[in-house]
Amino acid sequence: MDVKEMARILAVIAAAYPKFGIDNSGITLNVWYSMLGDLPYQAVQAAVQRHILENPFPPSIADIRRLTVELLTPPDKRVDANDAWGQVVRAIRMYGIYRPQEALDSMAPDVAAVIKAMGWEEICLSDNLNVIRGQFLKLYERKTAAIQRERLLPDSLRAQIAALAETKAIEEG
């Protein structure tokens, strides 16, 4: 998205929410553009429209970024915790303890990552799947929340954080 498109987005927000303040100095435009400029214009536009339809109050940058990232996430990557657990149960039934790779391959990547961390064999041998289910749901929610936080970061900010972490690692030696 370019600056002109961002200005159009802000104009739409201002039209929908008359008390939404846009300063004449361009600071508002620059801040919004720095936080949303890496996203496609059409996706941001759709997110703004959705927000306008669902909310009586003007959006924050975080609201629009969250909605845009949500719209850009393919449906097959949006697996809620209970559906993820369903994948695990199906894999246990179909592949059992002796075909772990096939079981992991049958799951969404995020689900498989949590199962690897928990241990496929331990899950299959457990006498109490309700306890395993509870542990899985907690771990899966944490993992998906971390992935979502990462997706919400603008590319420029993600690069800046990585550079800071690298500098810190070098300093600590």
Q: What is the pLDDT of residues 62-78, one digit of tens each?
A: 999 999 999 998 876 77
The candidate with the shortest Cα–Cα distance to 143, out of 163, 169, 113, is 113
Instruction: Please list, in sequence order, all residues whose beta carbon lies within 8 angstroms of the beta carbon of residue 85, skipping any fewer than 6 positions away.
Output: 133, 136, 137, 140
Instruction: Please list, in sequence order, all residues whose beta carbon lies within 8 angstroms of the beta carbon of residue 112, skipping any fewer than 6 positions away.
Output: 104, 105
101 falls within a domain: yes
111 falls within a domain: yes
Give the residue ranges of DSSP H helices in 17-58.
27-36, 41-54
> Residues of 5-37 as b/e, b for ≥16 C-beta within 10 angstroms?
bbbbbbeebeebbeeeeeeeeeebbeebbebbb
Same domain, 63 and 84: no
What pLDDT, on the 0 to 100 scale, is given for residue 94?
A: 96
What pLDDT, on the 0 to 100 scale, is given for residue 8?
A: 95
The pLDDT mean for the chain works out to 91
Give the residue numbers spanning the domain of 30.
Answer: 3-72
Residues 55, 161: Cα–Cα separation, whole Å: 32
41 falls within a domain: yes
CATH number, domain of 53, equals 1.10.8.200
- For the ranges 62-66, 101-105, 148-152, the lowest mean pLDDT is seen at 148-152
Same domain, 8 and 37: yes
The confidence band for 79, taking pLDDT boundaries of 50, 70 and 90, is confident
48 falls within a domain: yes
Report DSSP state, residue 59. P
Same domain, 93 and 146: yes
Q: How many domains does the chain have?
A: 2
What pLDDT, on the 0 to 100 scale, is given for residue 123?
A: 95
Model-level pTM? 0.69
What pLDDT, on the 0 to 100 scale, is given for residue 24?
A: 65
158 falls within a domain: no
Same domain, 99 and 127: yes
Specify the higher pLDDT residue, 47 or 155: 47
Same domain, 96 and 37: no
The candidate with the shortest Cα–Cα distance to 61, out of 23, 34, 40, is 34
Share of the chain above pLDDT 90, in %: 71
Q: How far is CA 133 from CA 24, 44, 85, 88, 114, in A?
A: 54, 37, 7, 9, 12
